[in-house]
Structure 1
């Protein structure tokens, strides 16, 4: 089986797009912050070092975080178009207006509202994710055909099939949890009960005359080729009203004047973008998996990050090297992060999901430089394993560490209680005690509904525990950062009760 990220020998690169004085594009495909892992301070540093510093959004590895400029604020619909709908094509500022309209002041509840809308959009704001988990495009015979398949599914209006053109492991990162996400959003009365995950709609994407210049394709190695899009148009139409949010949620989240009344449309002229970027085409990375080629969102992000730093793809990647068990994978990754051993952190990422980081690994190491180890040691780490979609949830039950000064730290889970020992003192908190603690610590002006929402959240997290998602590839176990972050979001959703979101939004007014 052939899969990206195995760290084999690569041919040396040359020509356009490599190191030197060449100008690089200022507009980028979807940014990395929604897809890169958060596996420790060292990789966050890589994200800061390699993140494109221009364009409407900045990439920062280790975080799922949007950063909006004060001058240009994007609606959730345009955010979605950037992340999913355009398949990696740039979306310019000034597109569809968000719920509050362009330039409108954002209230304190914007973060809460943005999180909820992002979750809803992830369920199916134009892409029926559930359907993608039922089928696969099967890949293409050549890199150019793989990129054209992506364009054809967009151009034909087949938004349903859009992500099925991506590399299988990449697509599954987002499709595996979708049924549970949809069920939780309905339970929380955010999405209407009758909403069908296979028929949600809020985005329409059309293309016209897309042209890929095969003569400019850049073969990086035997499993990675960068294709070049040089001409054509992409039109994105967003209709907020088609996202099946409940009336109760909309009433709590938006005033009547804030709700968009109709569709908003943005057209991107690829040839014009190429001219603005001094002739540099839009780059779409394609990867080879089991003798078939697929466009890759994660490799495209990594490719643009390297371009921004005017750094060539390394001639040799870092080979994946997993652990003997799910528990060992978590323990070894934590120790590697404490030791500032970035190479070992990268080795412990799944080669099918995070091959882009392993192929770019030497460049990450060079950018990070020599970090000083923390001096802390993991003496004991125990987890309880349970099966989840796409992997194993390793729930932390015991952790013992020794700091650089010899001070011990202990954390243990017993049912829905956690105990922590540090500096000779032990603190214990149980889910059943949390309500009283919040009551005693909260301001007297805090509404009861808000106290209840915080109690629901804290109690749910204590009961579920801290979970890390691991996957198994070829008999070895790896920590999946994207799946772990998704599981953390699911932990929050499972913890909340109907009405909690409304209470938090009202508090933020």
Structure 2
């Protein structure tokens, strides 16, 4: 690993979020698929007057306005169902390129896709590894919501049922970083949201058991809120630019420091067998080797963490060493199930005696 940056105080490792908290644009996930000729636009011209692109301009220093508030009719069950219908769209399929030709085009296509409730267009912009990380949990969530009756059986898999979003006067600003393949965007504009309650895909469980057999009145007149400087980070891969949730979180953490993005991060290093990966992980825990732990994580999910780790790794390792915690793990036994590129490893037996005099542990044999 090569790192020419000194670790700085105040920088904490980015977590691996399910969603980025700062952006107020509606979250979405959807199937990755072969994009149409204008992916994610739903027939909308990205150069239309509604979108102003300001390349190379830094974020304004004016005071931030309040973030867009959730429309009242989406509160409670309405928010759950509408967000569920939006977020759990199946994301199977195969997109060949996806992304966009430039950083600002990501913002343009994202805005156009959201404005047309085109969740497939939104997902088409995500970094391919992040689509892979989200796919199975989202599919399982959608199936379970329908099975439990939270969502209706005929809930749409390609649009937000009953929710209409209109984005206007959107300005996209891009700011380069010291890493040419990583660019920060800021989006400002207005969002108008309206709800047609009859089209929200409420399932029978909610209608019968929660609302006593009567569909609740969830209609909401259009409400408009301004959003300003919503931060997003885009990453270049093989000549295309992609939106990244994990890099967005990492960049927001780095923004509070004067540190550059490391030229190289922690190199991922897996094992030859599924059980070997877990065995190496436990060994790294026993050795309290943070760099090895981070390197063993799936780069599909932990790419941003691995890239930014040199910013905090030395300080974090020193604090861990000073804590005086000693752990010894031995007598492990595993069983492996599954096939293909993903396997499940069950810990059949493990002994965890601790050498620390401050902590007394007992042997455990989970099954």
Q: Structure 2: how far apart are the matches of 1:188 and 1:222?
A: 47
Per-residue deviation, residues 13-44 of structure 1 (Å, max 9, x unmatched): xxxxxx99xxxxxxxxxxxxxxxxxxxxxxxx
Which ranges of structure 1 fall in alignment gaps of 5 or more residues? 1-6, 13-18, 21-44, 52-60, 68-78, 102-112, 274-280, 414-509
Say whether the 8 Å CA contact 2:149–2:203 is kept in structure 1.
yes
Question: Quick check: 1:207 aligned with 2:207?
Answer: no
Deviation at 1:128, TM superposition (A): 6.2
Larger RCO (CA within 8 A; separation ≥ 6): 2
Say whether the 8 Å CA contact 1:176–1:389 is kept in structure 2.
no
Count of residue correspondences? 323
Pairing of 1:344-493 with structure 2 (within 5 A) = 344-365=292-313, 368=316, 369-371=318-320, 372=323, 374-387=325-338, 391-404=342-355, 409-413=363-367
Task: Decide which of 162, 179, 183 is 1:221's aligned counterpart.
Answer: 179
Say if 1:174 and 1:259 are closer, same or farther in 2 by CA, change over 3 A. farther
Task: Decide which of 239, 243, 250 is 1:302's aligned counterpart.
Answer: 250
Say if 1:50 and 1:310 are closer, same or farther in 2 by CA, change over 3 A. farther
2:67 counterpart residue number: 92
Deviation at 1:402, TM superposition (A): 1.9
Q: Cα RMSD between the aligned structures?
A: 4.2
Say whether the 8 Å CA contact 2:332–2:351 is kept in structure 1.
yes
Deviation at 1:166, TM superposition (A): 0.6
More helix by share: 1
Say if 1:269 and 1:283 are closer, same or farther in 2 by CA, change over 3 A. same
The 10-residue stretch of structure 1 (158-167 or 233-242) with the greater mean CA deviation from structure 2: 233-242
The 10-residue stretch of structure 1 (161-170 or 393-402) with the greater mean CA deviation from structure 2: 393-402
Say if 1:174 and 1:129 are closer, same or farther in 2 by CA, change over 3 A. farther
Deviation at 1:374, TM superposition (A): 3.2
Say if 1:363 and 1:319 are closer, same or farther in 2 by CA, change over 3 A. same
Say whether the 8 Å CA contact 1:99–1:259 is kept in structure 2.
no
Q: Structure 2: how far apart are the matches of 1:165 and 1:190?
A: 29
TM-score w.r.t. structure 2 length? Answer: 0.70
Deviation at 1:303, TM superposition (A): 0.7
Say if 1:176 and 1:388 are closer, same or farther in 2 by CA, change over 3 A. farther
Q: Structure 1: how far apart are the matches of 2:196 and 2:222?
A: 9
